[in-house]
Amino acid sequence: MKSETYPLMMPADLLGEVQKAAKRTNLSVEDVMRQSMWFGLPKLLEESSGNQVRPFTAEESRLAYRTPNPEFDDLEHHCASLPKRPPEE
C-alpha cells in the first residue's frame, strides 16, 4: 500500500492522549493516529451528514435582505460606479 506523509499539528493535550493510548496499546503513536482515523471517520461522516447548510426560507430571506447594512451598501454603490472593462476577445 502506498502511503503519504502529512504534517499534523495538534494541541499538546491531544498529543498527550495519543501518547498515552500508544503506551496502553503497545502501538506506535503513528499507528494510534491511523487507527483513530479509521475508526473515527465513519462516525465523523455520520454526524456531519445532517449539518449541511440549508437554503433560507422565504421569511428568512425577506428578513435578511430587508435589513439595511450601510457598510455593504456603500461598497456596492462604489463597485457599481467603477468603469467596466471591455470584453476580452
63 half-sphere exposure, CB direction, 13 A CA radius: 5
Output the pTM of the full model.
0.50
- How far is residue 81's CA from residue 58's CA, in Å, rounded to a whole number? 31
Q: Phi, psi (5° rounding) for residue 48?
A: -90, -10
Type of residue found at 38: W
Domain residue ranges in the chain:
12-47
pLDDT of residue 51: 66
- How far is residue 15's CA from residue 23's CA, in Å, rounded to a whole number? 12
Type of residue found at 47: E
**How many residues in the chain?**
89
Q: What is the pLDDT of residues 42-74, one digit of tens each?
A: 888 887 776 677 788 888 888 877 877 788 888
